């Protein structure tokens, strides 16, 4: 199926585009306009969750190390891969050591929901799952307008 699945795009002017593939109940394309304050809150929330500095290889290493010490075998079949891409014209790292700079961060994490349930002790996975939930909440808003 050439349709890649559900997607959400939020632009710097607050414009939101939502796509649901044909096999979903809400199939089609939708739009929404976020107020400037709402857009700012969303961006600050994603930054506060560490998305701009997310170290996927490091977090995966920590996860593997924890799993290696466990006697439990776990595998998630048919898991969805969550992809979040963040592009900011200006970003000040949380530690304040570097000047404002542009950032382009893409995080792809398979089975994020399952990992968030299993690895509550890994804050970065919990933050990534919270960012996912926040973005998904936009996709479920009742004020989305269908685009024909």
Residue pLDDT, tens place only, 39-94: 999 999 999 999 999 999 999 999 999 988 877 666 666 678 999 999 999 888 87
Dmax over CA atoms of the chain, in Å, equals 53
Residues contacting residue 48 through CB under 8 Å, at least 6 positions apart:
none
For 54, which DSSP code? Answer: -
pLDDT at 31: 98
Which pTM does this prediction carry? 0.89
Residues 65, 86, 139, 43, CA torsion sign: positive
Residue 143, token pair as written in the block:
């004020």
Average pLDDT over residues 87-114: 88
Q: What is the mean pLDDT of the chain?
A: 91
């Amino acid at each position: 199926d050439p349709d890649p699945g559900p997607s959400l795009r939020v632009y710097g002017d607050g414009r939101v585009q939502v796509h649901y593939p044909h096999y979903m109940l809400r199939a089609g394309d939708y739009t929404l306009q976020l107020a400037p304050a709402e857009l700012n809150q969303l961006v600050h929330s994603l930054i506060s969750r560490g998305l701009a500095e997310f170290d996927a290889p490091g977090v995966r290493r920590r996860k593997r190390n924890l799993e290696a010490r466990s006697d439990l075998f776990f595998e998630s079949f048919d898991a969805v891969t969550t992809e979040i891409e963040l592009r900011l014209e200006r970003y000040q790292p949380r530690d304040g050591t570097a000047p404002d700079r542009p950032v382009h961060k893409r995080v792809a994490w398979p089975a994020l929901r399952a990992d968030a349930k299993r690895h509550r002790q890994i804050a970065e996975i919990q933050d990534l799952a919270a960012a996912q939930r926040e973005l998904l909440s936009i996709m479920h808003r009742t004020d989305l307008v269908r685009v024909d």
